[in-house]
Amino acid sequence: MQTLDVRASLENLERVEARAPTQEAVDKFARKRIELAKAALETLATLGYANTSLREIAQHSQYSHGVLHYYFSDKLDLITCCVSYYKSICVTRYDDVVVEASSADALLDAFCDRLVETLEREAPLHRLWYDLRAQSLFEDAFHEDISIIDRKLEDMVWRVCNTYCGLAGGHPTLSRASLYAVFDGLFQRALSGYIHGDTGASGQLVKEVRDLLPKLVSAA
Partner DNA sequence: GAAAAATTTGGACAGTTGTCAAGAATTTGC
Partner DNA sequence: GCAAATTCTTGACAACTGTCCAAATTTTTC
Nearer to DNA, 41 or 165 (CB): 41
Nearest distance, CB of residue 82 and DNA, angstroms: 13
Q: Binding of a second copy at residue 185 (CB under 8 A)?
A: yes
Nearest distance, CB of residue 160 and a second copy, angstroms: 16
Q: Binding of DNA at residue 1 (CB under 7 A)?
A: yes
Rg of the chain's alpha carbons, rounded to an integer?
A: 21
**Which one of DNA, a second copy, none is in contact with 219 (Cβ closer than 5 to 8 A by kind)?**
none
Nearer to DNA, 26 or 160 (CB): 26
Contact characters 95-134, DNA, x per CB under 7 A: ----------------------------------------
Residues within window 57-96 making contact with DNA, judged by CB under 7 A: 62-71, 74-76
Nearer to DNA, 44 or 190 (CB): 44
- Total Cβ atoms within 10 A of residue 206: 19
* Among 27-35, 75-83, 103-111, 211-219, the segment contacting a second copy (CB under 8 A): 211-219
* Among 54-62, 85-93, 113-121, 212-220, the segment contacting DNA (CB under 7 A): 54-62
Q: Binding of DNA at residue 30 (CB under 7 A)?
A: no
Q: Among 96, 147, 152, 200, indicate the residue that binds a second copy (CB under 8 A).
A: 147
d(C-alpha 151, C-alpha 207), whole Å: 26
Q: Following DSSP, what letter does each residue of the chain receive, concatenated?
A: --HHHHHHHHHSGGG-S-HHHHHHHHHHHHHHHHHHHHHHHHHHHHH-GGG--HHHHHHTTTS-GGGHHHH-SSHHHHHHHHHHHHHHHHTTTTHHHHHT--SHHHHHHHHHHHHHHHHHHSHHHHHHHHHHHHHTTT-HHHHHHHHHHHHHHHHHHHHHHHHHHHHTTS-BSS-HHHHHHHHHHHHHHHHHHHHTT-TTHHHHHHHHHHHHGGGGBPP-
Applying CB under 7 A, which residues contact DNA? 1-2, 5-6, 21, 25, 28-29, 32, 52-56, 62-71, 74-76
